[in-house]
Amino acid sequence: MARKVSLFVPCFVDQLQPEVAVDAVTVLRRVGCEVDYPDDQTCCGQPAFNSGFWNEARPCAERFLRVFRDAETIVCPSGSCTTMVRVFYPELMGAGPGHDEAVAVGRRTFEFSEFLAKVMGLSDVGATFPHTVTYHASCHGLRELRLRDEPLKLLRGVKGLKLVDMLRCDECCGFGGTFAMKFENISVAMGEQKADSIAVTGAEYVTAIDPSCLMHVQGIMGRRKDGAKTIHLASILASER
């Protein structure tokens, strides 16, 4: 019987990088999942939460829990948004009834690569991507969700893909949400250091599990006219040529 998966699409993916979610759906269906998308979802609330406005973030969380109440398994192509739900919702909801629900929903929420590699135990999802690729270890996925091996395992299962190690692959790209705007100069400097690390690898593509990291790095590399291109892990795994 096909596994039922509800797609949780981060607001900025929905609006700015929809191809990431489209490709995630392709991959999930290819490995035999039945994918549905609760189309009244909006945002997990992370921007308000990170800025300290927990009272504005809480209604988003409550909404999320309502929208996904009956979802068996929730999959999200973003480490930071998955972190928001699994790691921070219980704290945000405080010591009330919402707390237990937040914990329960959190347990059913997985980042995309985590779901494929850990929950479904896959390493080969039928993808082909004959290019050199280097991996950026997005902070939330790495440190909050403790995903280090899962994305790499999936990348190694891709036909034709040559993985090139990046020095300081776990150093923050500098996006950090509103940080990128509020502390523009520091964010750009961090992004430049990341772009330098990417350039040293000589890889054609840099990939990650967080679309926001890739958007930030693309902004820096695009301005500098660096050679490498960004591509989300889901898009690599969706690729069949």
Q: Which residues here bind another protein, judged by CB under 8 A?
A: 9, 11, 13-19, 21-22, 25-26, 29, 35-37, 39-43, 45, 47-54, 56-57, 59-60, 63, 139-140, 143-144, 170-172, 174-177, 179-191, 193, 215-216, 218-223
**Which residue's CB is nearer to another protein, number 37 or number 162?**
37
What's the chain's length in residues?
Answer: 241
The minimum distance between CB 162 and another protein, in angstroms, equals 26
> What span, in angstroms and rounded, lies between the C-alpha atoms of 150 and 118?
7
Specify whether the CB–CB gap between 78 and 43 falls below 8 A: no
**Which residue's CB is nearer to another protein, number 32 or number 130?**
32
**Which residue's CB is nearer to another protein, number 53 or number 107?**
53
**Which residue's CB is nearer to another protein, number 75 or number 172?**
172
**Which residue's CB is nearer to another protein, number 153 or number 179?**
179
Separation of CA 136 from chain center: 12
The minimum distance between CB 171 and another protein, in angstroms, equals 6
Give buried/exposed letters for 77-115 (b at 16+ CB in 10 A, else e).
Answer: bbbbbbbbbbebbbebbeeeebeebbeebbeebbbbbbb
Structure tokens at 118: 């850990």
The minimum distance between CB 78 and another protein, in angstroms, equals 12
The minimum distance between CB 117 and another protein, in angstroms, equals 21
In terms of Cβ atoms closer than 10 Å to its own Cβ (0-12, 13-18, 19+), residue 50 is middle
**Which residue's CB is nearer to another protein, number 73 or number 193?**
193
Q: What is the residue type of 107? A: R
The minimum distance between CB 20 and another protein, in angstroms, equals 8
Q: What is the residue type of 151? A: P
Q: How far is CA 38 from CA 9, 63, 70, 74, in A?
A: 9, 12, 10, 10
The minimum distance between CB 74 and another protein, in angstroms, equals 16
